[in-house]
Amino acid sequence: MHPELSVVIPVYNEEAGLAKLYARLYPALDKLAERGITYEIVFVNDGSRDRSAEILAEQFRARPDVTRVVLFNGNYGQHMAILAGFQATRGDIVVTLDADLQNPPEEIGALVDKMREGYDYVGSIRRKRQDAAWRTYLSKAMNRLREKITRIKITDQGNMLRAYGRNVINLINQCSEVNTFVPALAYTFARKPTEIVVEHEERTAGESKYSFYSLIRLNFDLMTGFSIMPLQLFSMMGMILSGLSGGLVVLLLIRRFFLGAEAEGLFTLFAIAFFLMGVILFGIGLLGEYVGRIYQQVQGRPRFVVQTILEEKSRE
Ligand code: UDP
Ligand code: MG
């Protein structure tokens, strides 16, 4: 017996807001259950140093039929918590949600409805973002850059209210990478992704766990986790630079024979120096190509996914 819907919620130092979360989450899901959508909620405590773990345990005792709690022994970060939650899920549809009520639980129904239309990944776009202005601006800029570097199309990357199909979750559970960004990883495995618009609210209690620094880290993970383009950039630069400076050497040589040396050979020296720099850059880029291959191999993601094989049952 497994539920149709699993809801995964990472929790880190959220003691002030958990009661409010329960008060909205359970009624919202019970309403779905009336429509015949059975559910389970998987909380993952990411090594909170406050009373969050006890509050989660209390909730487990109150609603053991639909509540499961995974407890970490330390703080491994939001995305590791979500991955651990995924491994514990049994539902056909898995929805992730933040614990701070910035994602209204009432929207889960809309995600499920969209999934039932046959999609296996439903992202969400916040109608009106309730975050500091610098964060909104920064994440829009990073979105654009990321879409160029990787092939991942996520309109609103800083938003965790998303639904994933069982096929996507099973593939994610096979991955063993350490620094990852769950929505992007899921996107790479989705056959039929889509997005819907949802509400977004201010944090009800506690404060954001993301500093400016961890946001930068997150974006690096996103770029380098899904593309080795930053490494390959060097070989491109090196190739262009050595090409141009090679041209310069030839030009100076010709000039030298007709007009004599330029500023006592200073420019010739420049040309040689630039050429060498180009060669070095190209060398770094070449190394990057190999390191990139090693990196992709080490990630150990499934190399391809076979949807079905059409064949006749063998007759014996
Ligand atoms: N979170 C976590 N581990 C961490 C940081 C955050 O499990 O190391 C959880 C946190 O409890 C919340 C969600 O991840 O449920 C999003 O965190 P937060 O609201 O602080 O991020 P923001 O909304 O500011 O991006
Ligand atoms: Mg938040």
Interval 140-195: pLDDT, tens? 888 888 888 888 889 888 889 999 999 999 999 999 888 889 999 999 999 999 99
Model confidence pLDDT, tens digit, residues 63-118: 999 999 999 999 999 999 999 999 999 999 999 999 999 999 999 999 999 999 99
Rounded to whole angstroms, the Cα distance separating 102 from 43 reads 16
**What is this structure's pTM?**
0.84
Protein residues with C-beta less than 5 angstroms from the ion ligand 2:
98, 100, 102
Same domain, 106 and 205: yes
Model confidence pLDDT, tens digit, residues 25-71: 999 999 999 999 999 999 999 999 999 999 999 999 999 999 999 99
pLDDT the model gives residue 315:
60
CA 252 vs. chain centroid, Å, equals 50
How many A from CA of 78 to the centre of ligand 1?
A: 6
Same domain, 37 and 171: yes
Same domain, 170 and 123: yes
Same domain, 183 and 260: no
Q: Whose CA is nearest to atom 14 of ligand 1?
A: 78
Q: What is the CB neighbour count within 10 angstroms for residue 261? A: 12
pLDDT the model gives residue 191:
93
Between residues 269 and 88, the one the model is more confident about: 88
Same domain, 84 and 188: yes
Check: CB of residue 39 under 8 Å from CB of residue 5: yes
Same domain, 123 and 35: yes
Nearest atom in ligand 1 to the alpha carbon of residue 209 is: 20
Same domain, 23 and 101: yes
Same domain, 96 and 206: yes
pLDDT the model gives residue 316:
58
Nearest atom in ligand 1 to the alpha carbon of residue 82 is: 7
